[in-house]
Structures are given as C-alpha cells and as structure tokens.
Chains A and B, each alone.
Chain A
Amino acid sequence: LPEDRDQPIEINADRAVRNEKTGVTEFVGNALLSQGSLSIAADTITINYNDNGIRDILAVGTPAVLHQIPNPEQSQVTAKANRIEYSVGDEVINLKERASIDQDGSVITSDLIRYDINQSMAEASGDNRVNIIIPPSNARTTNPPTSESDNSDAIPNDPK
C-alpha cells in the first residue's frame, strides 16, 4: 500500500550479525520482514543502511517470497525469486533467478523481473524466454462451480 513506506520495518530471524565496518546487518534463518502490507520471507535477509536509514534489502531463499498489496483497489501481488533486491529509496524490487510475479492469476516468469512498486509495473527480461500467463477474464472474476452447485452434467453420486 502507498503508506507501507511510512511504516516501521520489522524483522524476525533465528540469528543476526551486524558488521560496523560494512554497515550491514544479516538476519539468518527463517528470516521474515514486514512493513505494512509488504512482507518478505527468506533464508537470509541482509540490510544495508547508511546515515539516512535503510538503503536496500537483499533477501535470499529457495525461493524468497514477497507479498504486497499495491493499493486498496488491487489484490495482493506475490513475487518469488532466489534473490529479491528491494531498493527502499527508489521503491523498486529486482527479482533475480527463477523469478515470478503473480497477481489475480496473471503470472509472469523470467530470469529477471523489475517491479516498480509506485507504478505497480513489472518489466521482465533475461536469457531465457519470458513467460506470461493471463487467465481468461471469466475464469478470473467468477467462482468456479462447486460440486453441490447446479452443475447439471456432474456425475451423480453412485446410489449404492
């Protein structure tokens, strides 16, 4: 959500190592980051900060998973990749290695996906082919018929 950027960032993990020389803190083991509607789950989450606060965040996992609701009118975006690089200042997320973005059943997969949070825009590129799946609009909006519904050609339960 737009107000995510104004929320504190909270991180939980098994361990953490802060290095004063490099200005890096690495959270290791079941690392979970949350900031408003944004959340990232990964094996390790590395925080680079500078005098102004957090500069960027690197999440590494198999895969690392990011969720966010871009804005109230849109449904949640789920992004996955082995490496998720979140540039906090630019509000840009780079998904690298087995990257995918899923929203409402529309899925983009590629080697590299650049996702602009402000624009809610994804740009895919990479050596391998970019693959986009956009489900038919009726499949996206209506709920699939359940077995009890009026689906007349469903096979009746065996009366025995």
Chain B
Amino acid sequence: MARRLLTLALVAVLVIAAVLLVDNPTLEEPQQQAPQQNTPGAIITAATTRQYDANGQLQYVLQVDRAEQYFRFNQQDKPLATSRGYTDLSSPRLVLHSDSNPQPWHFSADHGRTENNGNLITLWGNVVAEQALAGGGQYRIETSRLRVEPLLQQATSQQPVTIRSPQGLGNSTGMSIDMPQQTVTLNSQVKATYEAK
C-alpha cells in the first residue's frame, strides 16, 4: 500500500510540476541539510516530461533513461513534502525553449538532479549545451557541471568551460547563459581564438 502511494507521488512530481511551477515560482535553495533517504522512493525508466507555461507554450522537454525519486526526512524521520525531495536522473537530455529566440538550447549530461519542483536542474558529467545559430552552425559549450533554472531560462557554471562556434574556440572559468537576453557571459580567465577567414 505504502509503495503504491510513493509511486503516485513520483508521477505527481514529474507530470504535474507545471501546476506547481505556476503557483510556486519562487526558487528555494536545495535542502542539503535534511537527512536523505538512501533507497529511492520510486523509479521510472525512459521518461519524458513536457513542461508548458500558463499560455500553453512549451517551456522544456526533459528526457531521461532513468529517474529515481528520493524523499527528504525531518528530524523525526517523517518524509517531507515531495517538493523538498529530489529526483536523480541518468543521461538527462533537456531542451529549453525561450520566447525571445526561436532556437532552443539543448542540454545533455551523464547525470542530473531535479529539485524544488523542477525549478532547479543540476547537470554533471560531460555536460554539453548547444544552440543552433541564426546564421548557421552551432554554438557548443562543454563543462563538467551546470545549474539550469528552466523557469528563469538561465544556466550557470562555476567550472572551466570550452566554447566552440563557427567563429572559433573559447575558454573561460565559469559562465552563464541568459536566454531572454540572448547572452552568454564568460566569467573569468577568458581566452578566445578566431580563425582567419
């Protein structure tokens, strides 16, 4: 009986995240300090989540090979609300759409974790972020860890970053993507090489 309840809870998290997103758009830092469950509450394999905004516009599509949902517990060992838990993802592939640019951003990684009702998706291990460019070609960012906030349409990394574009190659330490502004900011130690035409 308890297991069926837990499975229903996972479906609630993955499928109805949109409703909760609209009602509760504020971002909360991931609850690291609460004790964590070591066995998943529920497991889903080969899952696709499509997230729409209030106007029915597709915000993002998240595909995973496997999702393991974990609860967090309070000091009395009682499970906290599902929004306080997290879901670990294997081979996550995220397509994030933005109304300011017809070209979406494609993210992929070996591992990921969603928290805060899907407001925060952390990716790590061979993280790649790509966007097709209006003038043709691809803008490709590679790093080891990336924090994606789908609601804000932003992504940030504090790690070394490699950028490849039709114009050339770039490196920096730390970067951020701002989709509404259509900017990519390289935070420090920037080095770029443009090939002569």
Residue numbers of A with Cβ under 8 A of B are 5-21, 23, 25, 27, 35, 47, 49-54
Residues of A within 8 A of B181 (CB): 19
Contact A16:B136 (CB < 8 A) given known A8-B195, A27-B192, A47-B194: no
Partner-A contacts on B (CB < 8 A) = 101, 131, 133-136, 139, 167-168, 170, 172, 181-197
Residues of A within 8 A of B136 (CB): 51
How far does the alpha carbon of A21 sit from the alpha carbon of B191 in the complex, in Å?
A: 22
- Bound-state Cα–Cα, A54 to B192, Å: 13
13 A-B pairs in the complex with CB atoms less than 8 angstroms apart: A8-B196, A10-B192, A11-B191, A12-B192, A17-B184, A19-B182, A20-B131, A20-B183, A27-B192, A53-B196, A53-B197, A54-B194, A54-B197
CB atoms of B194 and A12 under 8 A apart: no
Q: For residue A13, which residues in chain B have a CB less than 8 angstroms away from its CB?
A: 190
A-B contact count (CB 8 A): 80
The closest CB in chain B to the CB of A21 belongs to B182
Main SS at interface, chain B: strand
Which A residues are in CB contact (< 8 Å) with B191? 10-12
B134, B170, B185, B187: which contacts A20 (Cβ < 8 A)? B134
Residues of chain A within 8 A of B133, CB atoms compared: 20
Q: How far is the CA of A149 from the CA of B39 in the complex (A)?
A: 87
Cα distance, A8 to B185, chains bound together (Å): 22
Distance in angstroms from A55 CB to nearest chain B CB is 10
Q: A11-B191, A12-B190 are in contact. Are A19 and B196 (CB under 8 A)?
A: no
Closest chain B residue, CB of each to CB of A10: B193
The smallest C-beta distance from A8 to any residue of chain B, in angstroms, reads 5
Chain A contacts for B197, CB-based, 8 A: 52-54
B81–chain A nearest beta-carbon distance, Å:
39
Tell me, rounded to whole Å, the shortest Cβ–Cβ distance linking B158 to chain A: 14
CA distance A8 to B170 in the complex (A): 13
Which listed residue, A8, A23, A50, touches B193 by the CB 8 Å rule? A8
- Most chain B CB within a 10 A radius of its CB, from A18, A50, A53: A18
- Of B131, B185, B187, B194, which contacts A53 at CB under 8 A? B194
- In the complex formed, the residue of A with least CB distance to B174 is A15
User: Do the beta carbons of A9 and B190 come within 8 Å of each other?
Assistant: no
Q: Within the complex, what minimum Cβ distance (angstroms) separates B83 from chain A?
A: 34
- Which A-B residue pairs are the 7 nearest by beta carbons? A53-B197, A16-B186, A9-B194, A20-B182, A16-B190, A21-B182, A18-B184
